[in-house]
Structure 1
Amino acid sequence: MRWVLSLILNALALMLIDYLFDGITIDGFMMALIASIILAVLNAIVKPILIVLTLPITIITLGLFLLVINAITLMLTQALLGDGFIIDGFGTAVIAAILFSILNLFINKIVKE
């Protein structure tokens, strides 16, 4: 049940990011929910691989490179979804990843309680 609540709250966070930035376009809540599911799968499978492969640069940047990895997962989500989830550029994806990470802190705190 917590996983479903987390997916719904992540979809709402994506909708908020879409509302705040012109560079991100999401076609409705269902597309945001699908994007949330894809992000969860990518974060479970692809993100750990990317973290291991980029560990030296992550250490050198004191962990800031993780934001780039989050942006990469957002861009991969866009590539998988096509026209329903559009991010204009990598810079927009980095900014969205920062905001999404902050929102995820609050979402995880809500879901755990």
Structure 2
Amino acid sequence: MKTFLKILLTALAVVVLAKILPGVTVIDYTTAVIVAIVISLLNMFVRPLLVFFTLPATIVTLGLFLFVINAIIILLADKLVDGFEVPGFFTALLFSVLLSFFRTVLFSLLKDEKQIRN
């Protein structure tokens, strides 16, 4: 249930970012949910490989290269999901930073609700 809720919150963040950022398009809410699932799967399987293979660049840049990896994940999701478009690398970079911020805020609200119930 918690994973399903996280995917829905990520889809909500994707829709909001598509409205805010110029050039980013999401056709409908179903596409946003699919984008959220694809981003989650890419973060689970592809991101660790990218981090491993780019470890020297990540160390030299003191971790800032991880932003580039996040942008690559967004561009991969763009290629994999029809109905989701990100026009370029810098838009994907901004999208990934804002998505991370929105997810952090939304997921912290979930934790606060859980702590209140206990």
TM-score range, shorter chain: over 0.9
List, as ranges, runs of 4+ consecutive aligned residues in structure 1 with deviation greater than 4 Å: none
CA distance in 2 between counterparts of 1:111 and 1:72 reads 28
Partner AA of 1:34 in structure 2? I
2:107 counterpart letter in structure 1: N
Aligned residue type for 1:38: V
Structure with bigger RCO (C-alpha 8 Å, 6+ apart): 1
Shift of 1:55: 0.8
The sequence identity of aligned pairs, in percent, is 38
The count of aligned residue pairs is: 112
- Cα distance in 2 for residues equivalent to 1:59 and 1:105: 24
The residue that corresponds to 1:99 in the other structure is 98
Distance 2:6 2:109 in 1: 9
Q: Distance in 2 between matches of 1:58 and 1:107?
A: 28
Segments of 5+ residues of structure 2 without an aligned counterpart are none
In the TM superposition, what is the alpha-carbon distance from 1:110 to its structure 2 partner?
Answer: 2.6
Q: How far does residue 107 in structure 1 lie from its aligned partner after superposition?
A: 2.6
What is the root-mean-square deviation of aligned Cα atoms in Å? 1.0
Q: Matches of 1:7 and 1:66 in 2, distance apart?
A: 22
Shift of 1:41: 0.5
Q: Which residue of 1 aligns with 2:8?
A: 8
Partner of 1:61: 61
Larger Rg: 2
* Partner of residue 38, structure 1: 38
1:69-80, aligned counterparts within 5 Å? 69-80=69-80
Q: Which moved more, 1:62-71 or 1:3-12?
A: 62-71
The TM-score with structure 2 as length reference comes to 0.90
Contact 1:5 1:111 in 2 (8 A): no
